[in-house]
Chains A and B, each alone.
Chain A
Amino acid sequence: MDKELKDFAAKNKQNLGLVSLDVPLISNLNVWVNIALIKQYHQNLPDDKAELLVLQYLRVYGLEHIANKQTSALTNKERFFAMLIRAAMVMDSIIVIDRPFKIIPDVPDDRFIYNALNIIYDSFKECHIFDYTWFKDRYRMIYVEKG
């Protein structure tokens, strides 16, 4: 699986929005700066506009209150949402979620992920989930391509 993910990431490097524990949020930045960083760096978006944009995204998940939190203070679900919004900040984003149940171990199946993606469906081009074959049964709503 690691090789498949690496190959896919390499092929889509320019538009890759990775959600993975191997690509953590930056610990010395608070949540909104972590997310805004992508637009600020790649599109030179001024910090006040970037902050507003991030707050809009957090609001749709009802998570405005985590904007100024440090990443260490986040719950697993909050961390997942922050990583997902950060991935959606990439232009024409191809979101890749790497082993989502490692990030949100307390979630029983893919309904949570499906709903989370559905809310911001117009903010990304594609979404791909990479996971172990033995987690196949946990995917009911999302189309499973391989194993």
Chain B
Amino acid sequence: MSGKKDIRMIDIIERIGKTSINATRSFRDTLSFAFTIILKMFSKNSYSSATRMVLINQIYFTSVQILPLFIGISIILGSLLIGIVFQIIKTLGLAEYLGRILMGLVVTELSPFVTVLLIALRSSSAINAEIAVMKVNKELNTLDKFNIDVIDYLFLPRVINGVISVVLLSALFSILTLTSGLLFSKLMFGMSLDTYSNVLLNSANFYDIVISLVKCCTFGFFITLIPIRFGLHATNDLTSIPIAVLNGMVDVFIAIVLIEVLSLILSFI
């Protein structure tokens, strides 16, 4: 009896060990791939007319095509959240902290998080599937045979696009939400445009903006890098595409949560 229990215990420990080793290896590989991409990003030789064309197309697909949906969601979600926040501020009598709460909540936390979720849902999954399909169709082999570096031509523009798109769309979300805050501030606190702008400007903290910017860049970098890496895991079988997308998207969400937690810890230090 005790022998069987021991064996089961050893099995469980082995499984935990294997999972931990795999997770650590995956994390190490992601960081190593990230390092390669960063090195390429700062190399002049990585940029050609073809790379620029891909970058422009990617920015169009990620940041421009999504605009109507993004603006709609930003207005609805932003107004809703601002409404709730203003209600709480009024109930608790925290009107003097209005600007600080808005800047801290909307600019530093809410905007990057909502933006990254929307882009991850739409573009990360598309990138993951695209790279996996290219792998299955031997299109990556095509690039190799014509001496085209896949990192320069395929990966780099997508990662740069991720960074640019998250930063720009996050800024747009902040602007739209803070603008809807103007309406609520007038309705609930009778604030004028001048007073509202002054409250916001006085509460704007350079450190908050830097953290927000760094967070957006990190989000944008990893939500495009991870799908690319997992897309490359596809084999020659069509059935490997959904598996690659599924694994990639799970890791994207883990990365989003990790970055969010890390940025929160950083902002409290």
Contact = CB atoms under 8 A, between A and B. Distances in A.
A86 B145 CA distance: 12
A83 to B, nearest CB: 10
B142 A24 contact: yes
A14 interface: yes
Contact of A23 (B48, B51, B133, B141): B141
Contacts, number: 62
Interface stretch (A35-43, A52-60, A109-117): A35-43
Interface string B135-166: 00111011101111000110000000000000
Contact of A40 (B49, B130, B138): B49
A50 B142 contact: no
A18 B133 contact: no
Interface residues of A, number: 27
Contact of A37 (B50, B134, B138): B50
B257 interface: no
Contacts of B152: 41
Given A13-B147, A38-B146, A90-B146, A44 B141 contact: no
A99 B126 CA distance: 34
B105 interface: no
Contacts of B141: 22-23
Interface in A1-51: 9, 13-14, 16-18, 22-28, 33, 36-38, 40-42, 44-47, 50
A14 B146 CA distance: 8
Contacts of A14: 147
Interface of A: 9, 13-14, 16-18, 22-28, 33, 36-38, 40-42, 44-47, 50, 86, 90
Given A22-B138, A90-B146, 18 more contacts: A13-B147, A16-B145, A16-B146, A22-B141, A23-B145, A24-B139, A24-B142, A26-B134, A26-B139, A26-B143, A27-B139, A28-B134, A37-B146, A37-B153, A40-B48, A41-B49, A42-B48, A44-B48
